[in-house]
């Protein structure tokens, strides 16, 4: 029994089965799935009609949806996946933007969701989340709940300080070390929101704390390759930020979704998510936050090979930074500083092949980092090592990479380990000498590449 639905969709997309297989394999690599799709495999799907195993049905839907410009389900491809299999990051969050949806969403993502993998959203499904966050109505906070303990000012202030502490721990230790603590904190705040009484203004502050903790939990997942689960946390964080009536906070969450999109989506989608972050903040967004978004937009434009827009975004980022007044900034935007903007500018220029122009930015990034920010130090040193290698300074490049490997040993971040692995492969392919082999050995023994 053949699969006429799949055959028709491939014809509509203008793809041969071999091209379909290559696109599925590429999407799987981006999302961190270790699956192999032989270029002839889709012929058997068409011929015998059998449904492939997870995550292939969903990946196939995603790549076809991007090509055809409309949403698709496995059923549209003539498949019926087994019950209990892989689901999308937005599964179970359909009521998120309705009254009471924030509490339900917070409970959902903080209740052991990390034990299951979710398929990260890409394409129109992801950009729809970003656009929804801009246009969604913001229901007024419900009247103070009856029957629960009344929350006072000191409790809320302590929780805000706790969120700030978790941010700093994430910088120093990596997401893997932080996840359990942050989700436990999120459960506590969720119980307070659900079971306690508080004035409306204090409730907004509590929702703001919940939004920031959910953002941190999502970033911890992203830091260790659980991209779909990260998006679930961020979708709920966006809803909590709206409940807090804090548009700049929502824009910050969208910014981190843009960071993820730079790695797992195409350039157009990354540009859209970051543009949504810029618009979501409204008039309340400050110069520092505008600078951060512009610097990441430069990376997205570079990914799209748009040199003019890249340079324009870099200039815009540093112009905004010159106008910033950190003493007036919310605590959660502390990360947007000279080091961050310089690193993003250097990364964007490196992506465009402007190696010599990237070097001074990346040196500034590594030299300007705040003490204790170990993960960003590895990020910018690894990127600097690539720029040095491509500029012909092999000795300094390897020295930079060796130092980054030693720092990574103290981190719980799969993302940084993968970044170092990418550099080791680049150095081996470029140099092919004993010094490069020694770097690989150092990485294998120190960070278990």
CA neighbor of 106 nearest in space, from 200, 237, 202:
237
Domain 4-85, what architecture?
Orthogonal Bundle (1.10)
So what's the pLDDT on residue 409? Answer: 87
CB 119 within 8 A of CB 228: yes
Say what the pLDDT of residue 13 is: 84
Hunting for tokens 């919310």 — which residue is that?
330
pLDDT digits (tens, 9 = 90+) for 369-422: 987 889 999 999 999 999 999 999 999 999 999 999 999 988 888 899 999 999
Domain boundaries, given as residue ranges, for the chain: 4-85, 89-265, 372-449
**Cβ(262)–Cβ(127) below 8 Å:** no
Residues of the chain with pLDDT under 70: 1, 69-70, 83-87, 91, 94-95, 97-100, 112-117, 119, 122-149
Residue 224, token pair as written in the block: 């260790």
Q: How far apart are CA 285 and CA 294, in angstroms?
A: 13
Question: What's the pLDDT tens digit per position in 419-449?
Answer: 999 999 999 999 889 999 999 999 998 887 7
pTM > 0.95: no
Asked if residue 253 lies in contact with residue 215, where contact means CB atoms within 8 angstroms, the answer is yes
CA dist 45 and 320 (Å) reads 53
Determine the Cα–Cα distance for residues 403 and 423; give it in Å rounded to an integer.
13
Structure tokens given for 303: 């990914």
> Cα(375)–Cα(174) distance, rounded to whole angstroms?
6
SS (H, E, C) the chain: CCCHHHHHHHHHHCCCHHHHHHHHHHHHHHCCCCCCCCCCHHHHHHHHCCCCCCCHHHHHHHHHHHHHCCCCCHHHHCCCCCCCCCEECCCCCCCCCCCCHHHHHHHHHCCCHHHCCEECCCHHHHHHHHHHHHHCCCCCCCCCCCCCCECCHHHHHHHHHHHHHHHHHHHHHCHHHHHHHHHHHHHHHHHHHHHCECCHHHHHHHHHHHHHHHHHHHHHHHHCCCHHHHHHHHHHHHHHHHHCCCHHHHHHHHHHHHHHHHHHCCHHHHHHHHHHHHHHCHHHCCHHHHHHHHHHHHHHHHHCCCHHHHHHHHHHHHHHHHHCCHHHCCHHHCCCCHHHHHHHHHHHHHHCCCHHHHHHHHHHHHHHCCCCCHHHHHHHHHHHHHHHHHCCCHHHHHHHHHHHHHHHCCCCCHHHHHHHHHHHHHHHHHHCCHHHHHHHHHHHHHHCC
Asked if residue 320 lies in contact with residue 345, where contact means CB atoms within 8 angstroms, the answer is no
d(CA 144, CA 71): 40
Per-position b or e across 18-28, b if 16+ CB within 10 A of its CB: ebbbebbbebb
Range 66-83 burial, b when 16+ CB lie within 10 A, else e: bbeeeebebeebbbebee
């Amino acid at each position: 029994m053949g699969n006429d639905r799949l055959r028709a969709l491939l014809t509509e997309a203008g793809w041969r089965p071999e091209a379909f297989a290559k696109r599925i394999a590429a999407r799987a690599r981006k999302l961190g799935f270790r699956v192999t799709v032989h270029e002839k495999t889709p012929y058997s799907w068409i011929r015998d009609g059998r449904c492939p195993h997870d995550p292939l049905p969903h990946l196939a839907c995603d790549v076809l949806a991007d090509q055809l410009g409309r949403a698709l389900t496995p059923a549209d491809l003539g498949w019926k996946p087994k019950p209990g299999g892989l689901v999308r990051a937005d599964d179970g969050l359909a009521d998120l933007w309705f009254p009471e949806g924030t509490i339900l969403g917070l409970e959902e993502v903080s209740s052991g969701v990390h034990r299951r993998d979710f398929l990260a959203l890409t394409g129109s499904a992801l950009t729809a989340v970003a656009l929804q966050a801009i246009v969604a109505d913001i229901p007024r906070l419900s009247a103070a709940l009856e029957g629960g303990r009344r929350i006072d000012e000191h409790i809320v202030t302590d929780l805000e300080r706790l969120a700030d502490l978790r941010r700093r721990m994430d910088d120093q230790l990596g997401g893997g070390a932080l996840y359990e603590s942050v989700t436990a904190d999120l459960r506590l705040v969720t119980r307070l929101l659900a079971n306690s009484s508080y004035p409306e203004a204090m409730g907004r502050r509590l929702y703001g704390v919940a939004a920031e903790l959910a953002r941190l939990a999502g970033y911890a997942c992203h830091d260790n390759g659980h991209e779909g689960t990260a998006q679930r946390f961020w979708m709920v964080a966006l809803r909590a930020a709206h409940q807090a009536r804090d548009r700049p906070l929502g824009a910050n969450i969208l910014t981190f979704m843009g960071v993820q999109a730079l790695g797992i989506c195409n350039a157009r989608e990354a540009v859209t998510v970051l543009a949504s972050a810029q618009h979501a903040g409204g008039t309340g967004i400050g110069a520092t936050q505008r600078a951060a978004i512009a610097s990441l937009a430069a990376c997205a434009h570079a990914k799209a090979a748009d040199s003019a827009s890249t340079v324009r975004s870099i200039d815009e980022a540093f112009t905004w930074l010159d106008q910033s007044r950190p003493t007036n900034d919310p605590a959660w935007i502390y990360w947007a500083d000279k080091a961050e903007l310089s690193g993003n500018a250097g990364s964007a220029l490196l992506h465009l092949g402007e190696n010599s122009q990237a070097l001074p930015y990346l040196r500034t990034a590594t030299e300007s980092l705040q003490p204790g920010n170990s993960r960003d130090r590895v990020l910018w040193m690894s990127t600097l090592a690539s720029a040095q290698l491509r500029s012909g300074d092999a000795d300094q490049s390897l020295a930079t990479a060796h130092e980054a490997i030693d720092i990574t040993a103290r981190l719980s971040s799969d993302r940084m380990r993968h970044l170092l692995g990418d550099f080791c492969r680049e150095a081996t392919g470029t140099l092919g000498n004993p010094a490069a082999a020694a770097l690989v050995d150092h990485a294998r023994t120190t960070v278990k590449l």
